Amino acid sequence: MNSPNPAQPPLTLLSVIIPARNEEDALPATVEHLHVELRLNGIPHEIVVVDDGSTDNTWRVLQDLRERVPALRPIQNSGEHGFGRAVALGLREAAGDAAIVMMADESDDVRDAVKYWRTLNEGWDCVFGSRFMKGGGVIDYPWFKLRINRLANLFIRTLFHVSLNDTTNAFKAYRMTVIRGCEPLIAPHFNLTVELPLKAMVRGFSWTVVPITWRNRRFGTPKLKLNEMGSRYFFIVAYVWLEKYFSRGDYRKPVSSVP
């Protein structure tokens, strides 16, 4: 049943996971604006930025930021690189009981992180944002990527019979119990953005959708390469679809005895 459980314990710490590769220009604004917004709204938080093998001054920028932002926890991914691997590392290192995955390029609105936290505290396991519902929006979205995005999300909606129309967007929020319930995370690249929400839905965690806004990056270059990711997205979608219809519920969330 997809409904919140108000009896869930109140959340105590929000971990915002930000993977970063060659984001020296964008990170200061992203981290500082996020920290200010969460602090003004009284949200206890840490900001876990994972430097995923940057070849620019990203790590040095993070060291400078740490002096101004006490909630910042910079981590270097010393293993194999990839968006999904960086996010998974950040989630393993996170100290919070709730997590938000956020982009480093300031494309995600920090005010939506506050909305996510408050909605999670209503008793939801997951909160997914949609840029394509009433109240949401996009600014300066490249038209070709937008068309590919809408087709991919239509395919996922049809395959899984779900109402969520923005599964591919990375910016989502989870109770940490969901993250642990979806492990092991196997997607090494941007396909993690669909692995996490689809696994959460298939495994029986409660979820809801709120409108969010997105704007195209102002600094740096996009890291997502559509010509490299198509087959990887399809693999993850097929993997979770097979779990949904053939695992006989082996991985589903245990039914809680809490009323």
* Residue 4, phi-psi category: left (phi > 0), alpha (psi -120 to 50), beta (remainder): beta
Q: Which pLDDT belongs to residue 255?
A: 62
Q: Which pLDDT belongs to residue 249?
A: 86
SS3 content of the chain, % helix, strand, coil (to 5): 40, 15, 45
Q: Which of 54, 82, 58 is nearest to 72 (CA)?
A: 58
Residue 221 pLDDT > 70, yes or no? no
- Give the global pTM: 0.93
Alpha-carbon span 175 to 207, nearest angstrom: 11
| pLDDT class of 224 with cuts at 50, 70, 90 | low
Q: Which of 128, 233, 224, 156 is nearest to 191 (CA)?
A: 233
Query: Tell me: the pLDDT tens digits for 11-23?
Result: 999 999 999 999 9
Alpha-carbon span 141 to 146, nearest angstrom: 6
Domains in the chain, start-ordered, CATH in brackets?
Answer: 14-246 (3.90.550.10)
Report the chain's mean pLDDT, rounded to a whole number: 93
Query: Tell me: the pLDDT tens digits for 59-82?
Result: 999 999 999 999 999 999 999 999
Q: Which pLDDT belongs to residue 259?
A: 37
Query: Tell me: the pLDDT tens digits for 142-186?
Result: 999 999 999 999 999 999 999 999 999 999 999 999 999 999 999
The structure tokens 């909630």 sit at: 71
Alpha-carbon span 94 to 255, nearest angstrom: 26
Find the DSSP H helices in the chain. Answer: 27-40, 58-68, 83-93, 110-120, 143-160, 176-182, 192-202, 226-246
